[in-house]
Amino acid sequence: MSITDKSTQSRRQFFVSTSAIAAAAALPSAAISDPQNKPVSKTPIQITQSQPQSADVSKITQATLAEAEKLVGVEFTPKEREQMLQGMEDNTKRFKNRRSQELQNALAPATVFDPRFPGVKLVANKNKFIGSTVNPGPLPRASEDIAFAPVTALSYWIKNRKISSRRLTDIYIRRLRRIGPKLECVVTITNDLARQQAARADEEIKAGNYRGPLHGIPWGAKDLFDTAGITTSWGATPYKDRVPDEDAAVVKRLDEAGAVLIAKTTLGALAYGDIWFGGRTNNPWKLDQGSSGSSAGSSAGTAAGLFGFSLGTETLGSIVSPCMRCGTTGLRPTFGRVSRAGAMALCWSLDKVGPICRTVEDCALVLDVIRGHDPADASSIDMPFEFDATKSVSGLRVGYSPGWFDGRGATDNDRAALDALKKLGLEFVEVELPKWPYGMLMTILMSEAASAFEELTLSNLDDELVWQKPEAWPNSFRQTRFTPAIEFVQAQRFRRKVMQMMDDKFADIDVMISPSFAARLLLITNNTGHPSLTMRCGFNDDGTPHGITMLGRLFDEGTLCRIGMALEKQLNVWHKRPPAV
């Protein structure tokens, strides 16, 4: 469809006239569906540029350049500006012409990020998965006790036919209907599909065809993973009726493992925050508080016992933050570990897919299923995953900085987690990070995100997004139009410098532990691609949970999870349930 909004001509023309200082951006497409959620043709949103009211409006002059210089922090002389004018109109025409090309959201840039620093020897060298052998005991009588059980227990009961997948699915569907509206954490309950998959699982298990530990386990998918014939809205009003034709790669892999897709969970619009087109996702521990985001529904629903596990994504805290708020366990894998094919792209060099569960071992179980190389994802990396839940953690080395735990922002819960870890026979090594301007890495995130959703900015569909604060996407995308391409390249060069620094820090340690938002580590490690594990470590004065984060070496999620399991056992707080549900 063609979109022209004459009421915004002056604003849109301003963006066009100053595009000489804007980074190149991509034009994705949107899928449109009818109100019955039946797939129809995927029609790209066409951008129709507003025409200037007169020649004077679009004329680029020395005054135009002088004003633009203020936005990018440079200053040229009148003579230099005069010379620059000779090519500026050609630049603007080139930018406009580029927009005639359809660039879909999934189309990645030609340059592909690889977190492996040249010459680095990575730890895991073979695929090996050894889970714990603890018997969870008899099946509980109360449905609520079953609903809150970890996947390790649910898997045992299903494999040994103590409970059917169909009964477990019905337990979760009832909870989704009763509790889901309180939390505003679900976009779609996939009743029919879930019951079909559960029935299939029961038949296969009865016939002796057991697919593995996720067989028959109901799960929730963040609503940015494509599901064939089922609405995948990206949490945003312009896409709320979008119906894809094919499943995302992770959805396919979980289906092959026999898992049961029971819900599409909410996310903050376009993977930011907890506000979506249907409302705000709430924290099950405190209903008047948002669940944080952007994997808001996945975390809230898992914490509330609405499904066995869920999947989230992270670009900058979208697994870590809601797990902190809701008390779930979130594993952000190494960049490239899990395919993003069929998932909404926000930032092609930063997006990661990971599990949100109730326990650490559950996260390892899910990662083992969804990991693996996929040629459909340009950033996918083929690396082994080695995990042994029975192996001791004694002697492993943990990096930390005393200042992270003593400084402003650290809590008693953070310090208690550190003390608990010190009782496990681990060796502790003090580390310090250089005082660099890490904030410049945000240039990469903002530039990629504004490119991924340029169509919203240029068509004025950004006004349809519910969240319209200065820090929300609509305003951020507009501001980013004025980021010079040079700043984007320089940020990428700085990123490589940070990668080298983190490689040096991890040379002598196995994991790093810190308060979850300390020392810009969230920003740093999302850019370097290192994995993280966020887990509950205690409770705040208001009864809400608090989490701690550990960071692992590239592609060494196995060691990260082993230490996480030991800490989880030492703290013994993961099993407590939110009173609000």
Contacts of 478 (CB under 8 A, 6+ apart): 15, 457, 462
2 is catalytic: no
Active site residue 206: no
**CA separation for the pair 506, 403 (Å, rounded):** 18
Is residue 318 annotated as part of the catalytic site, yes or no?
yes
Q: Which of 164, 165, 222, 252 is catalytic?
A: 222
Question: Which is catalytic among the residues 233, 318, 401, 459?
Answer: 318
CA distances from 406 to 426, 533, 538 (A): 21, 21, 17
157's tokens? 């009961």
Alpha-carbon Rg for the chain, nearest whole angstrom, is: 24
551 vs 557: CA distance, rounded Å: 9
Question: Distance (Å, rounded) from C-alpha 304 to C-alpha 325?
Answer: 13
Q: With CA atoms as reference, report the closest residue to 289 among 183, 176, 409, 177.
A: 183
Q: How far apart are CA 535 and CA 521, in angstroms?
A: 16
Determine which one of 50, 165, 292, 294 is catalytic.
Answer: 294
Query: Which DSSP helix (H) or strand (E) runs through 457?
Result: helix 454-459
Tell me the sheet residues that pair with 552: 511
Q: What is the dihedral of CA 124, 129, 135, 141, to 10 degrees?
A: 110
What is the DSSP secondary-structure string of 215-272?
TT-EEEEETTB-BTTB---TT-GGGTT---SS--HHHHHHHHTT-EEEEEEP-STTTS
CA distance 191 to 261: 9
Active-site residue set: 222, 294, 318
